[in-house]
A and B are shown apart, each in its own frame.
Chain A
Amino acid sequence: MRGRTALIAVGAIVAATVAIALSITGGPMSARRERYDAARYQELVKLARILRCESQRGSSQALPETLSVESLRTYCGGIERHTSDLTDNETGEQYSYERLNSRAFKICAKFYDPKILESRRYHLNVPGYLFDYETGCISGSVR
């Protein structure tokens, strides 16, 4: 309302602040990648829960050799899942599954930046399981 220079100064300060903010947190592309990573994380957690086999706690379950729709049908009293639950939504690749022994496994996904998940407070709540923020893998054992 008074002083054109003052008005332009305000505009410049706001523009600079917004530019700094967006350069720090990343623009839309970066935000989209974070969302893909968050989705990958959620899917890995779901898989970890399935492998943990809560419903058959008493009996000793041997982990399947490979992770697939068929192998899950014979695991843990029979679990039905779609292929989409086992694959990365963005790339279509299957999440990698490594059977360490009959009771321990490691599942991994290809993240853009798994370390960011730590600062965004994605914490694994499944007891005995660990999410490695460096490699983007969940490792755990069936009780």
Chain B
Amino acid sequence: MTAIDSLDLFVKEGLSAGRSRQELDEALSRAGWTQREIRKALSKYADTEFTPPVPRPAHTLTARHTFLYALLFVAMAFTASYLVVIVHQLIDLQLPDIFRDVHVSPRRLRWAAAMLIVWTPVFMFMSYYVARSSASDDSIRKSPVRKWLTYLALFVSALILLGDGVYTINQLLQGDLTVRFVLKAATVAVVAAVVFYYYLRDAEEASDEG
């Protein structure tokens, strides 16, 4: 039996024996369990006087949660990465180098614009929709899908933004103009900071709620 299973068993038996949650909490703390683990174990049972202790419904994985979060994070990834692309293209256009810019083309700029025109509204709508749905239906916020997809989204975003960083630094090493490099690096940094600030907080919240 794993440690967590024995914790669950202890809580169950403790509640069945009529011990109060407070007592169980104290006993477990003294034994060395963290507050987080104790809270999690206790929350598995409803807070009533009823014996035997009433289990709370487990938060199930549903296809709907997967769809919502997957779409939200894909939209976020596209919005973030193409925002970087379009700003970089604008920087290149406005601060042209006498050397022929291989990657400056209106085609790339227009493609980035098209991506943003489609995916940014999707991202905004999905953010709003998920927040609104979570308000009425708690199972969405507590869905294990949310935790996993949040970290997956962070992972993909990290890869994309690090890739942008490598590309920008490479341009500098290839003799790109300093001002251009600074602006491009700043763009990547700002977008990365925003993405990570919001979603890391979200991911931590998701893992707190378990």
| Residues of chain A at the chain B interface (Cβ within 8 Å) | 1-4, 6-7, 10-11, 13-15, 17-18, 20-22, 24-26, 31, 34, 120-121
Which of A10, A20, A26 is within 8 Å of B90, CB to CB? Answer: A20
CA distance A15 to B123 in the complex (A): 13
B87 touches A31 (CB 8 A): no
| Residue B93 at the chain A interface, CB threshold 8 Å | yes
B79 touches A10 (CB 8 A): yes
CA distance A4 to B83 in the complex (A): 20
CA distance A2 to B76 in the complex (A): 14
- B170-203, CB < 8 A from A: 194, 198-199, 201-202
CA distance A34 to B110 in the complex (A): 14
Residues of A within 8 A of B123 (CB): 10
A21 touches B124 (CB 8 A): no
B93 touches A6 (CB 8 A): no
B90 touches A1 (CB 8 A): no
A18 touches B113 (CB 8 A): yes
How many chain-B residues does the 8 Å CB contact rule pick out? 30
Tell me whether A7 and B117 are in contact in the complex, defined as CB-CB below 8 angstroms, given that A2-B201, A14-B83 are known contacts.
no
Closest A-chain residue to B120, C-beta based? Answer: A14
CA distance A14 to B201 in the complex (A): 23
Tell me whether A10 and B113 are in contact in the complex, defined as CB-CB below 8 angstroms, given that A1-B202, A21-B89, A24-B90 are known contacts.
no
Closest B-chain residue to A17, C-beta based? Answer: B86
CA distance A13 to B198 in the complex (A): 17
Most buried by B among A3, A7, A13, A25: A25
Residues of A within 8 A of B128 (CB): 4, 7
Residue interface mask B120-146, A partner, CB < 8 A = 1: 110110011011000000000000000
Closest B-chain residue to A25, C-beta based? Answer: B106
Which of B72, B83, B109, B127 is within 8 Å of A25, CB to CB? Answer: B109
A11 touches B113 (CB 8 A): no
